[in-house]
Structure 1
């Protein structure tokens, strides 16, 4: 049986904490897509930790953590991440596994990412410059190097051949930067990667399923960044929705049971792209400051706005969401008045569907107003102890989406999660 946890907005919904919380009930936590552009934040005794590629179940003793074939893996970033975590977890090698079909990010992927983004000028999409898009392009172009290839005695020649293809592309951009230090770091990290548990991922996870093990599939980014269904072209390069679990781990769809969708109590977005409910005003800045809305990986300030129920309803539909987790609800404690986007308006006509291209027309948000609860909920331990005005806000979202909010996060720590 597989349950899925994924973000329903533009990423940064707080997936790391939620996966960490739920992981105790599972035998396996598996990342099924994305790369080091993900930043899943967890807190240990008040100390902030950011997981980029390692599954968020790594702190749960005895749990298997699998990096699936749908991920694009940066060995340099992985080695640094492991070094950061050893002081908390000790020997990561005993419960961290990497699928051999996982595609590698090599130094020229990052160079291509940077060159491509610079060439776009004002049309840039806000890439994290981690090499994600070029790595996925090599995957679909059948040029990629994969984790299993590092065990091939001819790996260095395979690497050089791919690098030369990239250099031709870099020259067309007029891009010429020295990557020798990155290459040195890369091959050192490859030696580290060889010491981890490299497995045939699809046989590995299907064997565990046959044994009756419970798997939690962890997504990265958010549903509105999905390459097919997100706000194209301002999207990531992978399928971030629940359908990506099957191709990203090598499992059949009948194994999937619960789809747990995570949404903030408001909305954020990093980088370029349409954002109908964005607040470019004092309320937007207050959301940013109170919610500490700055990228876990990039440090970039996030754009902030009221919750967008049109986009959220769309994300619930395409994912088959069965239950919702609302994070950062405590950030709204500080507001006298709240709003939710319940429709889009274009030339006087209201719609409640996400259009093909949100960026090509001036869709305006239609807001509904709510009284804020203006009460500190960080110490609340049950739904009944939450303010009535907050319960009204949640009931409205439940009714609009037709999917129940089952958990409310009222603070950053693992224990600050209220079950409804």
Structure 2
């Protein structure tokens, strides 16, 4: 079975938490990461915290093989740093077509006034690397001797595992409305971040997909420029306890209430079969670290019911705290998983 995780808003929805939880609970044969080093994931488990940008967040499953999709991009520095802090050197593989970001792309991007000041780029060189890939001048993983032992054919590995009845988890990047094609251009990222774009980065077709899990947060956040409907002032966000900063840049995230209109559009664009909602404890404080649905406060359950009815897709995973296991898992009850 292949499960695909997609960010439902503008990124920062808690995909890393959901990915790490599913990895621990389901122990998939393979987890594939798409995207690049401009999108960070935070994983908290048993008192430890990892901030990672390219290694799959499901690395906590020790029996799972980890892979970087051919459409992804990394720098050598970040790749080797993260395999060390996650202790995954013996089970991480990288497709030979992964693009490699160098200091040239990083410096060129950081001196691009339009990207940094107007668009609000993270300045990690990803946009410039993508443009050079399009121009056929970017070097790929296969061009680096130091990556030789990690090289593999990711599409072949994934399709082979699925053919044997194994589970595969694919981690998307950022969020639907940062998509180069479906977001508010030009305030978008340099790739298609929807389910269809994620599949193309991995190199597999839609017939292999069993579940598309779209991840939302109980409120909306955005880093960088661009319109954010219902945006709260910093003071309002402070009073509500909704203060967050980006994993990669450390920039304060802009905040707005949950947007059901955007959520419905995201469900439609991504062909969602399940929905995960994280940080419900930030809105309903008595939900903190609750792991059983019946123990949620009644107002939280009413809100979740209303959202589920509006979306027309089952909410199967509910995040109630920082730790990977602070999850209410309703998959058995709602989709028979």
Asked if structure 1 preserves the Cα contact closer than 8 Å seen for 2:69 and 2:201, the reply is yes
Which residue number in structure 2 is paired with residue 224 of structure 1? 177
Which residue number in structure 1 is paired with residue 124 of structure 2? 130
Work out the CA distance in 1 between the residues paired with 2:116 and 2:60: 41
Work out the CA distance in 2 between the residues paired with 1:55 and 1:380: 26
Asked if structure 1 preserves the Cα contact closer than 8 Å seen for 2:56 and 2:66, the reply is yes
Q: Superposed, which structure 2 residues align to 1:106-121 within 5 Å?
A: 106-116=102-112, 118-119=113-114
Which residue number in structure 2 is paired with residue 250 of structure 1? 203
Which residue number in structure 2 is paired with residue 204 of structure 1? 157
Asked if structure 1 preserves the Cα contact closer than 8 Å seen for 2:3 and 2:211, the reply is yes
Which residue number in structure 2 is paired with residue 344 of structure 1? none
Asked if structure 2 preserves the Cα contact closer than 8 Å seen for 1:41 and 1:50, the reply is yes
The structure-2 alpha-carbon separation of the partners of 1:403 and 1:132, relative to structure 1 and needing over 3 Å to count, comes to same
CA deviation string 1:85-108 (max 9, x = no partner):
23xxxxx22210100011111111
Q: CA deviation at 1:197?
A: 1.8
Work out the CA distance in 1 between the residues paired with 2:328 and 2:290: 8
Q: Superposed, which structure 2 residues align to 1:379-390 within 5 Å?
A: 379-390=289-300
Q: Superposed, which structure 2 residues align to 1:301-340 within 5 Å?
A: 301-333=252-284
Which residue number in structure 2 is paired with residue 176 of structure 1? none
Q: Superposed, which structure 2 residues align to 1:21-170 within 5 Å?
A: 21-24=21-24, 25=26, 26-32=28-34, 34-86=35-87, 92-116=88-112, 118-119=113-114, 124-151=118-145
Q: Which has the larger radius of gyration?
A: 1
Which residue number in structure 1 is paired with residue 217 of structure 2? 264
Work out the CA distance in 2 between the residues paired with 1:235 and 1:391: 34
Q: CA deviation at 1:281?
A: 5.2
Q: CA deviation at 1:403?
A: 1.5
CA deviation string 1:240-272 (max 9, x = no partner):
111023311111210011100110001100010
TM norm structure 2: 0.93
- Secondary structure at the aligned position of 1:38 is classed as coil
Q: How much is the aligned-residue C-alpha RMSD, in angstroms? A: 1.6
TM norm structure 1: 0.75
- Secondary structure at the aligned position of 2:250 is classed as coil
Structure 1: gaps (5+ residues)? 87-91, 152-190, 334-374
Asked if structure 2 preserves the Cα contact closer than 8 Å seen for 1:278 and 1:284, the reply is no
Asked if structure 1 preserves the Cα contact closer than 8 Å seen for 2:286 and 2:297, the reply is no
* 1:273 aligned onto 2:226: yes
CA deviation string 1:109-162 (max 9, x = no partner):
00111121x25685x1111100010111112222221101224xxxxxxxxxxx
